[in-house]
């Protein structure tokens, strides 16, 4: 089956604009994660969903960042009033529920490269 997909792949926004980034996880994957990856750095955790419940949002950098997964599959990461420091690749990953798979292996999407000018 298909892997994790993300759209758009590239987004250029002017400072102050709002953006919405979409993630389609692997069908049947209960857990969904958002990461931010700056150039030359490792992915940094933003938030985590189990089904539609947002269990951890400790990594969201500010209240301008908001994520939702209303029906427990597709997720959207929204950034309001974008700033230059928001420029990064935003990665989405999904995984099977740990209790079923016994593993926390995460499958990553290709990412959305956001550039704020």
Partner 1 sequence: GQQVMQIPQYQHVQEGEDFTTYCNSSTTLSNIQWYKQRPGGHPVFLIQLVKSGEVKKQKRLTFQFGEAKKNSSLHITATQTTDVGTYFCAGLPGNTGKLIFGQGTTLQVKP
Summarize as ranges the residues that interact with partner 1 (CB under 8 A). 31, 33, 35, 41-45, 48, 55-56, 58, 91, 93, 95, 98, 103-111
Contact status, residue 18 vs residue 27, Cβ threshold 8 Å: no
Q: Between 17 and 87, whose beta carbon lies closer to partner 1?
A: 87
Q: Between 73 and 94, whose beta carbon lies closer to partner 1?
A: 94
Neighbours of 80 (CB within 10 A): 14
Residue 26: C-alpha distances to residues 39, 76, 81, 102 (Å): 26, 15, 30, 17
Q: How far is the CB of 67 from partner 1 (least distance, A)?
A: 14
């Amino acid at each position: 089956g298909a892997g994790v997909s993300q759209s758009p792949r590239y987004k250029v926004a002017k400072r102050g604009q709002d953006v919405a980034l979409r993630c389609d996880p692997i069908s049947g994957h209960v857990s969904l994660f958002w990461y931010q990856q700056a150039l030359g750095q490792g992915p940094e955790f933003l938030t985590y969903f189990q089904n539609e419940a947002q269990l951890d949002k400790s990594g969201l950098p500010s209240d301008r960042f908001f994520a939702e997964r209303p029906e427990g599959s597709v997720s959207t990461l929204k950034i309001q009033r974008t700033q230059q420091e928001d420029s990064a690749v935003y990665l989405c990953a999904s995984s099977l529920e740990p209790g079923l798979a016994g593993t926390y292996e995460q499958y990553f999407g290709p990412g959305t490269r956001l550039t704020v000018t």
